A and B are shown apart, each in its own frame.
Chain A
Amino acid sequence: TQLLEQSPQFLSIQEGENLTVYCNSSSVFSSLQWYRQEPGEGPVLLVTVVTGGEVKKLKRLTFQFGDARKDSSLHITAAQPGDTGLYLCAGLSGNTGKLIFGQGTTLQVKP
């Protein structure tokens, strides 16, 4: 069974601080996705990483995919209150179309 372990599960920081969220697995994934979800809304896709060692940037967000394609990280620089939400990493399992989610990281950025 493919599992994704996400850490930390909860993070409360001040505006302007940097943070990193980790997503780890003992299994190889062909690709991983990161989603952000605000309260009362559905998850919104932020990025898909496909190639081992890949780094993608989305404004203040930097996503990395491990060389072995077993782990990924999300780094936020100078966090803002608008970054508050639930961050989910997810990987596709085989050809079933099942999206496996990590446990999620609830981020609170205080002004």
Chain B
Amino acid sequence: DTEVTQTPKHLVMGMTNKKSLKCEQHMGHRAMYWYKQKAKKPPELMFVYSYEKLSINESVPSRFSPECPNSSLLNLHLHALQPEDSALYLCASRQNQGASIIYGYTFGSGTRLTVV
């Protein structure tokens, strides 16, 4: 299995809702990432997990709460979002955080989030 699977593919939520995004990989990668991407812009790093521990938080608002229950699974819990949080949320993984870049990043297809 060489994929990163993200669910759901599309999500519409109200500003008072609580929802979660899910990301799963079975490649044995020990570094997992959440990115946010606006249309025609590059992905922006949000969080990095290394060996199931939060390694980097890029000053993301607390309405986004990441969780890494095990080495294959990464969640992003959403609460009280704003319309400007509407974006494509991408999950990625790689062998480990300090690995050579030649090992590359594998990205999921993303969750298209719309906040109404």
A residues in contact (CB < 8 Å) with B: 30-31, 33, 35, 40-45, 48, 50, 86, 88, 91-92, 95-99, 101-104, 106
8 residue pairs, one from A and one from B, having the closest CB atoms: A42-B107, A101-B42, A97-B97, A92-B101, A31-B101, A104-B42, A43-B107, A42-B109
Name B1-58 residues within 8 Å CB distance of A. 4, 31, 40-43, 45, 48, 50, 55-56
- How many B residues touch the partner, as a band? 20 to 34
Contacts of A50 in B (CB 8 A): 101-102
B104 contacts the other chain (CB 8 A)? yes
Give bound CA distance, A66 to B60, whole Å: 35
- A40-B109, A97-B31, A104-B41 given; name 7 further pairs at CB < 8 Å: A33-B105, A42-B4, A42-B92, A42-B109, A45-B106, A50-B102, A103-B41
One digit per residue, 1 when the CB lies within 8 angstroms of any chain A CB and 0 when it does not, for chain B 82-110 equals: 00000010101010111101101111111
